[in-house]
Structure 1
Amino acid sequence: MPANTPIFVCQLSADKSWALVETSFTYGWIPTEDLAFVDNEFVKNWETGRYAVIIREHISILDETNRFLVQASVGHIFPLEAISADEMKISVAMADPNRQAVIRHGFVPVKAAAQKPLRFNPVNAAGIANEMIGEPYGWGGLYDRRDCSAMTRDFFAVFGIWLPRHSSSQVKEAGLYVDLRGLSREEKEKTIIAKGVPYLSLLWRKGHVMLYIGHKDGRVLIFHNMWGVRTRDSLGREGRKIVGQAVITTLMPGQELTDFDPSVGSYIDHIAAMNILIPENQEQSAK
């Protein structure tokens, strides 16, 4: 999870070295050395109601003496203290020697952050996607990298839209649900193009979520973080062409490969639903 994520500590291990924690999007065990405890005064100062959201990848947040505090990427959120012509002053939680959280002042260039939420419009949406494209895949957040649902979650966080962590929940628990089951390939693409809103529509197949960004020559285009494409060589041996990053593709990636394995089908064959997300109080102003 990103630095400065609020957590609820459910339980400590017998030796106090591990904590079972819950966040707004997941739960699990983490080393206690990676957390800091807060009191009511800290919470009061932290929950300001005014926040900054990071809009660039791999940004170092520095203190007033130019020393490193934390690294942040697209979608990470911090309390906003002040804005100048060149930088934003934000609150950063750090642990003191007693593992109590204290607030430090951090600074981030204005080009790397925005006052949350960033206004949703096609230019801003495409800009955030361009920033995230090429970022490596990490299943379940492995090595602090994003998988498909973490990518969509961080993308929409910039615009003040909260999504659950898992792909199926993202499609089923918010927005307008459109059932695509039972449709042919052609019917699916026509439905997505007719009803989908670019950069505001999620496409889902079991285990994978994608962002619909538009269409070209009658083909749906998606932005997603994918692991790879199944292949099969001339001897019938299964393999995989590794992509391992956030990319823009059609719903049939890999079909141009000579060893593409058509027996498992493409995304278009397995897509079951679309979810159209509408930002509250922003859609009309963005038009």
Structure 2
Amino acid sequence: MGTTASLAACAAPSALAVSPSGVPAFSEDMLSPEFWIRRAPSPDEVLLDANQVAAKRMRAFGPDGGLIDLKRIPDTLTRAQVAGWVKDAQQTPIQAVIDEQGRPVTAAMLEEPRQNTATEHIPEASTARHGLSVRRTTLRSLPSDRKFFAAENLRDYESLQAGILFPGEPVVIAHHSADQQWLFVMTTQGPAWVRRADVAEGSADAVFSYVAKAPGRVVTGDQVRTVSTPEAPGVSELELDMGVALPRADVAPGEPVNGASSYASWPVLLPVREQDGTLAFQSALLRRTADTAPGYLPMTRANILRQAFKFLGERYGWGHQFNARDCSGLTSEVYRSLGLFLPPNSGMQGKSAALNHRPFTAQDSHAERLRALAQAQVGDLIVVPGHVLMIIGHVNGEPYVIQDVPFAVFKDPATQQLRKTKLNQVSVTPLLPLYADDTTLYVDAMTSLVHVTRP
């Protein structure tokens, strides 16, 4: 009976067809993580133990790992160094062609935020300062909230959006804007501008000691919030994304926290910004019913799938716009909840020295690529120029992926014409029929197959 049930669970879905949204070889069954967990080999097997995960986490901050070890930044910053960072931060893949009102972007429009960088006021030498982000806040390539886009039909990509900081992330403060409203910081992801009000400044010891604390609770849901506490607005209803790890607050059992008992919640410690901008710490509460864990989740195929599917249907958000995430945000936050830190962009995820890769070049044939994909495991990443997808399993021998994607291009089975389908969300699709452009399949555009869960 167990064998029959097992075979039934792993059978192909009842009907594969083109979905109403245009996804081929699709069945509604595929939108459940349990469908893929039942098909996965040894879904609860631990693929990497805690020590192996920690070692990979450290390698991500080492040479060619893709993340920056802020502790290695020297105490004294030179003008040339900071000016170089400011220039690097301005590199964006999205052209600024129109503004939020649809008007053509002029040189004068861009000159204003560039002037606000105040690079002429960077001193010859300055002392590096340190801080922690106190809320979910955007990183910007220029110190401005103005929005620019490449085209009217490309408003899902904002030109100055450079990423995100989650509560409790460290920064090195290197400079400030002319209007005093922005700080220029080095983050673990790279240089960027951040709202001054969203960073609390403290000593290097205070900042790095907080970051080094053992997780008390790890956010395992797509996003949770701290308990609403009007007595402590700085830690009230804070948005915490998947993978955010917070240390436990030292609160006696039953002791009230910000006007509420802690007995039915988890007390955690968060950074807050004092009125003068300095760093302090305050206890906050997470409901016990919120989707969190006492530490990073075990690295199993079942956990990878369940974590990824918690984002299913979430709108695509370039650089974490729209309170969401993009393709590399999806993959990095899934793995962050399991203790692995991935670089923030798809290109670096495809070559990080912290991960194992099977690279592909023009010399690799279509057949060789198919053979590699046939052996791909749950959680492996497919990297193509500008995009990353996660393998979730195989159906009838063909690989399927979960991906956060604005558009998917397939060949219509009826007309044999390419069909561009606007998904604009975290979606499940087959991999082999996907086109990277009008002529090239994703399979043939693939630059790396990343074996994340291999030691």
TM range (shorter): 0.7 to 0.9
Matched residue, 2:219: 54
User: Which amino acid is 2:283 matched to?
Assistant: H
Aligned counterparts of 1:124 and 1:231: Cα–Cα separation in 2: 30
The 2-side partners of 1:66 and 1:250 are apart by 47
Matched, 1:128 2:341: no
Superposition deviation, residue 275 in structure 1: 1.2
Q: Deviations over 1:211-234 (max 9, x none)?
A: 11221111111111111034899x
Structure with larger Rg:
2
Look up the SS of the partner of 1:168 in the other structure.
Answer: helix
Pick from 331, 334, 357 the counterpart of residue 177 of structure 1: 357
Across the aligned residues of Structure 1 and Structure 2, the Cα RMSD in angstroms comes to 3.0
Aligned length: 270
Alignment partners' CA distance in 2, 1:253 and 1:61: 42
Displacement of 1:247 in angstroms is 1.3
Alignment partner, residue 191 of structure 2? 27
Post-superposition CA distance 1:166-187 (Å, at most 9, x none): 1111120132210233444444
Q: Decide which of 179, 201, 205 is 1:37's aligned counterpart.
A: 201
Post-superposition offset of 1:121 = 1.2
Residues 222/40 of structure 1: CA separation in 2 closer, same or farther (3 Å cut): same
Post-superposition shift, 1:253? 5.6
* Equivalent in 269, 272, 275 of residue 91 of structure 1: 269
Q: How far 1:208 moved relative to its partner?
A: 0.5
Question: Do the aligned partners of 2:410 and 2:433 also contact (CA within 8 Å) in 1?
Answer: no
Helix, strand or coil at the partner of 2:348: helix
Indicate the residue corresponding to 1:70 in structure 2.
Answer: 238
TM-score by length of 2: 0.53
Q: Which has the higher strand share?
A: 1
TM-aligned CA deviation for residue 62 of structure 1: 1.9
For residue 5 of structure 1, what is the amino acid of its counterpart? E
Q: Deviations over 1:204-263 (max 9, x none)?
A: 101001111221111111111111034899xxxx984211111121114668xxxxx983
Question: Which residue of structure 2 lines up, in the alignment, with residue 248 of structure 1?
Answer: 428
Q: Structure 2 counterpart of 1:245, which letter?
A: Q
The separation in 1 between residues aligned to 2:204 and 2:438, in whole angstroms, is 58
**Which residue of structure 2 aligns with residue 226 of structure 1?**
405
Contact 2:170–2:208 (CA under 8 A) maintained in structure 1: no
Contact 1:221/1:251 (<8 A) preserved: yes
Compare 224-233 and 171-180 and name the one that shifted more: 224-233
Is the contact made by 1:56 and 1:131 (CA closer than 8 Å) also made in structure 2?
Answer: yes
Query: Relative to 1, partners in 2 of residues 1:275 and 1:48: Cα closer, same or farther, differing over 3 Å?
Result: closer
* Alpha carbons 1:37, 1:101 under 8 Å: kept: yes
Amino acid aligned to 1:116: G
Unmatched 5+ residue regions in structure 2?
1-163, 254-261, 413-417
2:349 and 2:201 mapped to 1: Cα distance?
A: 30
Moved more, 156-165 or 266-275: 266-275
Q: Which residue of 1 aligns with 2:126?
A: none
Shift of residue 70 of structure 1?
0.7
Q: Which consecutive residues of structure 1, in runs of 5 or more, have no partner in the other structure?
A: 256-260, 281-287
Following the alignment from structure 1 to structure 2, what is the Cα–Cα distance between the partners of residues 252 and 86? 48
CA distance in 1, matches of 2:227, 2:205: 24
1:190 aligns with 2:368: no
Question: How far apart in 2 are the matches of 1:35 and 1:44?
Answer: 15
For 1:275, the equivalent position in structure 2 comes to 450
State whether residues 248 and 267 of structure 2, in contact with CA within 8 Å, keep that contact through their aligned partners in structure 1.
Answer: yes
Cα distance in 2 for residues equivalent to 1:42 and 1:178: 40
Distance in 1 of aligned mates of 2:367 and 2:265:
49
Instruction: Give a deviation string over 1:15-63, Cα, whole Å, max 9, x none.
Output: 3221111211232112212211123564376245311321112311126
| TM-score for the superposition, normalised by structure 1 | 0.82
Q: Residues 389 and 402 of structure 2 are in contact (CA less than 8 Å); yes or no, is this contact kept in structure 1?
A: yes
Q: What letter matches 1:225 in structure 2?
A: D
Alignment CA distance shift 1:3-1:119 (3 Å): same
